[in-house]
Amino acid sequence: MRRMKQKLNKWTTHIPIRWRLTLISLGLFTVLLSGLGTIILLMSEQALLNNQIDALHNEALLAVKGLRNHPFVLSKPPGPPEGQLSPALLSSLIVLGERLTSSNSDAIILSPSGTVMVPSNDFPLAPMPIRLSPAEIHQAMTDDSEGSKLVRDAHKLRQLVVLIPLVNDHQTVAILQISTPTSTIDEFITTLRFILLLGVGGALSIAIALTFPLIGTALRPLVEIERTSRYIAEERALSMRLCAPATNDEIGRLTLSFNQMVEQLETAFKRQKQFVSDASHELRTPLTVLRGSLEMLLIGVDRGDIETSRRLARSMSSEVLRMQRLVEDLLALTRLDEGRRAAREDIVNVRTIIDKVYDQAQQLARGQDIRSDVAANIFSVRADPDRLQQILLNIVENAVKYTATDGCVKLVACNGVDNTVVIEVRDNGKGIPAEALPHVFDRFYRVDSARSRIAPQRIGGSGLGLAIAKELIEAQGGTITIDSIFGQGTTVTIRLHAVTNDVEVTPQSL
């Protein structure tokens, strides 16, 4: 059984979805039509049998009324049956049986116990007599007040038998059994069954003719998605897009999602290629310097001069530190890309962070004027203090690097709107051109042409500082933006959510 089930599952998995949907639809349609046809047949047959039972009752009622003085009542008795019948009653029963026997029906008078009191009249065209056992008579009289039953005669033909109690003076004196063939009803049901079969067959034929092309039309966008995805996978043509259908259904939304996915993949591949190219370029320069310095030491250029050897060693150490910073920055970006957020989040005193960054900036300055302006009622923020200090220090270091020695770098912190704290790092350096502003947060992007080195002897950064700052700030629920006017200066703005108590914002105590 399990092996058969596995084979069936394996077989169904190889059937195209168009055929599976068609088979399921046709199967459900067939079940529904078959059920409806069965209900129609059963209800029609029952209605015809009920009409036949009513006709036999009416015929028996007319026959009883035709008797002298109407000695019987057609109803269930309220009391026990009599033991013996008078000659007059017996004569009336015989007359009643004769009147009800015809070419369409056969009548028998039974005693209340089920024995034959008056057999059927020997009518030449009368149906074949039906003999019920006392148990069947009792069951029919108990289950239904009208006592009807479908049985088969000796020729295996169906007959409808109706049992009617004959009551005289509130006592059951006999049971009238009338049987009639159901051949007319059977012929009608057979014809109706044939018509229903033709109707179901015709409906299924129409459904097959319409369902398959309709399902094919509905699944056409899925086929296009499958072809396009296979072509993209084989040819790596990530620039391809699907034509979005006008309908806003599941397939339309799937098409839009597919296009978005391909667009993200294209962007990711471009970033990966650019990342590898930029990383290789950044590592090539220090490696070239290291190789040149080592070759100079190997060929003995220093000629035993200790100062020359130290100068080469310092140059190599500087390049090693540069590569170390690059590797650390790449590692930090990799962790952020993997979804590793800030290590911890605490309630941070903004004034304390600004003071620490201010003290460190004084050591980085080479003649620039470093200033700090923190609002008296500055709110606290929820952030990682070490990360926030690192971000601000990198931004200040960048500002100092691209600001003239007589310039100014200023740290400003104040409360913003919508329960935020705004931290700004302003400088009056060279500034950034407008066309470069949208790319300053891209990895390995440096605006060297716009912000020329103030101190050419210093080694520039890797172009990852602002990218890391953006990732870290967003990981803590904040935002970072840059405004700059070329030739006048740059302002880096960080917005973080203030610490709140229920709805109200609580200022930090000074």
H-state helical runs in 338-379:
350-364
- Give the model confidence (pLDDT) of 322-358 as tens digits: 788 777 777 776 766 665 554 567 889 999 999 999 9
From 368, 346, 351, select the one nearest 423 (Cα to Cα): 351
How far apart CA 152 and CA 160 sit, in angstroms, is 9
User: Which pLDDT belongs to residue 501?
Assistant: 56
- pLDDT value of residue 462: 59
CB neighbours of residue 373 within 10 Å = 12
Question: Of 73-87, 183-197, 424-438, which one has max mean pLDDT?
Answer: 183-197
Query: Which one has a higher pLDDT value, 408 or 386?
Result: 408
* Percent of the chain whose pLDDT exceeds 90: 18
DSSP state of 75: S
Comparing 202-211, 329-338, 344-353, 449-458, the range with the smallest average pLDDT is 449-458
Helix (H) or strand (E) holding 429: none
- Answer yes or no: are the C-beta atoms of 444 and 463 closer than 8 Å: yes
Provide the pLDDT for residue 76. Answer: 52
Torsion angles phi and psi, residue 495, rounded to 5: -120, 125
> What pLDDT score was predicted for residue 451?
42
pLDDT the model gives residue 338: 63
pLDDT reading at 250 higher than 90: no
pLDDT at 437 over 50: yes
Q: Say if residue 198's pLDDT is above 90.
A: yes
pLDDT at 339: 59
Here the tokens at position 113 are 């116990």
Average predicted confidence (pLDDT) for the chain: 79
> How confident is the model at residue 483, as a pLDDT?
92
- What average pLDDT does the segment 140-152 reach? 72
Instruction: Please check the confidence at residue 40 and state whether its pLDDT lies above 90.
Output: yes
Contact partners, residue 116, CB within 8 Å, separation at least 6: 108, 109, 110
Burial tier of 135 (Cβ tally within 10 Å: 0-12, 13-18, 19+): exposed
362 vs 232, more confident: 362
Top-confidence residue, 201 or 142: 201
| 75 pLDDT above the threshold of 70 | no
Q: Is the pLDDT of residue 59 over 70?
A: yes
Closest by CA position to 467, among listed 337, 358, 348: 337
Let me know if 44 is exposed, middle or buried by CB neighbors in 10 A (0-12, 13-18, 19+). middle
Q: State the pLDDT at residue 69.
A: 63
Residue 256 pLDDT exceeds 90? no
Higher pLDDT, 3 or 310: 310
* H-helix or E-strand spanning residue 49: helix 17-65
Which residue would you say has higher pLDDT here, 249 or 435?
A: 435
Res. 461 pLDDT band, cuts 50 70 90 = low
Query: Above 60 in pLDDT, residue 222?
Result: yes
Tokens encoding 257 = 């999602």
Give strand pairing partners of 421.
415, 496
Q: Specify the higher pLDDT residue, 388 or 345.
A: 388
pLDDT in tens, 402-411: 899 889 999 9
User: What are the chain's domains?
Assistant: 1-65+186-218 (no CATH), 71-181 (3.30.450), 250-336 (1.10.287.130), 344-505 (3.30.565.10)
pLDDT at 284 over 70: yes
pLDDT at residue 70 tops 70: no
| Those residues with Cβ within 8 angstroms of residue 147's Cβ, 6 or more apart along the chain or in another chain | 137, 140, 141, 162, 163, 164, 165, 175
CB atoms inside a 10 Å sphere around CB 491: 16
The answer on pLDDT for 397 being more than 80 is yes
pLDDT of residue 463: 66
d(CA 508, CA 120): 113
**pLDDT band at residue 78 under the 50/70/90 scheme:** very low
Model confidence band, residue 454 (pLDDT cutoffs 50, 70, 90):
very low
Cβ–Cβ under 8 Å, residues 106 and 178: yes
